[in-house]
Amino acid sequence: MYCDTINKGVMKVAEHDNLVARECMPEELEMGLKVRNSIFSPITNEDWQKGDSKTAAIALYESECIGFIPLSLRKFRLTSQITITAAFENGVGVKQGYRSMGIGSQMIAAASCFLKEKADALYVYRGDERSQGYNFYAKTGHVDLLYMRRFENCNLKGIIHESVIISQGTDEIFNNQQKLKEIFEETYFTFGGFLPRDENYWESAFNSPIYAAKPMNIYFFRLVEKGCITAYLIAGKKLKPENEEEVGRLHILEMAACGGDPQKMKKVLEATAGFVEKKGFSVIDLEASDSCPFKELLIDLDYSSGLRRRQIMSLSFDSKALFDKFWKERLYLPGIELKVWTPKQTITLIERKSDNAQTVTIEMKEEMLTRWLMGRLDFKAGVNEGMITVANGNKTIISEIAKSIPFSEWEYHPIDYI
């Protein structure tokens, strides 16, 4: 989906008047993908058309494409009750010879303008907090919302349970999407941090460009009790490992069990280890957060974990619109005008309705404002720790504010990755 007007969100690099960053037009897609494919694992025009609706930011210098950011428009769950439209960035690509000139930042700034009619926020999956790439996102205003670490099992002592059925490929996954949706929701119904599941989610996921750019052999493990699937695990082995470390690894992409039952999940994980051992693979791994409902089970099954290695980051380009759309109706503060103050901006969240209304101002850093509006900040704890201050507030007002945007646990599922 592309914007009809190309002038909206136009940004120019100060040093180069002939360089413009804006939304990509359909006829510019081919040259945009050419820049992208020269940097990242290549995808075709046909791959681009699959999966989520897409747009892109493009940087042009005298009609030459020198920068490109693909943007997938996806539903994203903040809490069990709040789902937003997120524009996921899939690699910021700038042509060799034009880097370190602020072109990537200009494309992000342009995207923040033209996306306002299409999405509620920008999102990206990133890794390596000490890297130049991570620093780029941090400098452009992206905020860490969730950290993930790798859990891995090299001590493969599995059990082949007769009740666990194993198949290769995606056919059986697609044939059981309704049941997978039910089991997934039973496991993660209190969580946010992922794409909402529907009956077509898995087909859409595996038809997305990421699995064309980085193909995998897919394996489906499911526990069948009394003729019904009660737990499952989806895993993939990369056909083109990116380095020596990736060779022989089976990556868990998603797992769930009826009622979140760890004993059911244990049987599936044991069968997965037995399968991997039989196939001669060397490692099973999973990227997950510390909130993973099966974390204790993984530890019991000899999965070890390292330092955090990936994060979900977000850029809120219109905090006022985000609050109005998803949170405002939850907040009841009669006789109060409510503002938010950060070092960068002042926002009126609840307007003054009378001349004698009391003005209450929440004071916080911009980063904390983003986390709060994404459901990733415990407001009351922030006040108690002194990281959030409230001018003219009292305990009743603070409790009401905290209740309106509650902290939500998040979990990451690698199948969502783009």
pLDDT in tens, 103-132: 999 999 999 999 999 999 999 999 999 999
3-state secondary structure (DSSP) of residue 52? coil
Are 169 and 294 in a shared domain? yes
pLDDT score of 295 more than 50: yes
Domain-located, residue 206: yes
Domain termination residue (choose one: 313, 345, 362):
313
182 and 301 housed in the same domain: yes
Helical spans, DSSP H, in 232-378: 262-279, 295-300, 319-326, 366-373
Helix (H, G, I), strand (E, B) or coil at 15: coil
Q: How far apart are CA 54 and CA 72, in angstroms?
A: 4
pLDDT reported for residue 92: 86
Q: Are residues 347 and 295 in the same domain?
A: no
The whole-angstrom separation of Cα 339 and Cα 369 is 12
Instruction: Please tell me the predicted confidence (pLDDT) of residue 16.
Output: 59
Q: Which of the listed ranges 91-100, 249-258, 346-355 does the model predict with the highest average pLDDT?
A: 249-258
- The reply to whether 273 and 168 lie within a common domain is yes
103 phi, psi to nearest 5 deg: -70, -40
Residue in the block written with tokens 């994404």: 374
Question: Which domain does 357 fall in, by range?
Answer: 318-404
Percent over 70 (pLDDT), the chain:
96
- Would 3 be classed as within a structural domain? no
Neighbours of 23 (CB within 10 A): 26
pLDDT score recorded for residue 244? 83
Distance CA 76, CA 55 (A): 17
Q: Using CA atoms, how far apart are residues 283 and 295, in angstroms rounded to an integer?
A: 18
Sign of the CA dihedral running 50, 56, 60, 66:
negative
Give the pLDDT score at 156: 79
- Specify whether 340 is located in the same domain as 301: no
How confident is the model over 32-57, as pLDDT tens digits?
A: 999 999 999 898 999 898 888 999 99
> Domain boundary at 141, 160, 189, which?
141
Q: Which residue type does 137 have?
A: Y
Q: How confident is residue 8, by pLDDT bands cut at 50, 70 and 90?
A: very low
Do both 77 and 170 map to the same domain? no
- Which tens digit of pLDDT belongs to each residue from 132-173? 999 999 999 999 999 999 999 998 778 889 999 999 999 999
**Which residue from 25, 31, 34 is spatially nearest to 57, judged by alpha carbons?**
25
Q: Are residues 31 and 174 in the same domain?
A: no
CATH number for the domain that contains residue 236: 3.40.630.30
Select from 63, 34, 60, 33 the least CA-distant residue to 49.
33
pLDDT for the residue numbered 312? 98
Looking at the predicted structure, is the pLDDT value of residue 305 above 70?
yes
What residues contact residue 381 under an 8 Å CB cut-off, 6+ apart?
none
Quote the pLDDT of residue 146: 98
Query: How high is the pLDDT of residue 213?
Result: 87
Q: Return the residue matching tokens 């940097």.
A: 39
Is 35 or 243 the better-scoring residue by pLDDT?
Answer: 35
Contact between residue 195 and residue 74 where contact means Cβ atoms under 8 Å apart? yes
Decide if pLDDT at 91 tops 90: no
Number of structural domains found in the chain: 3
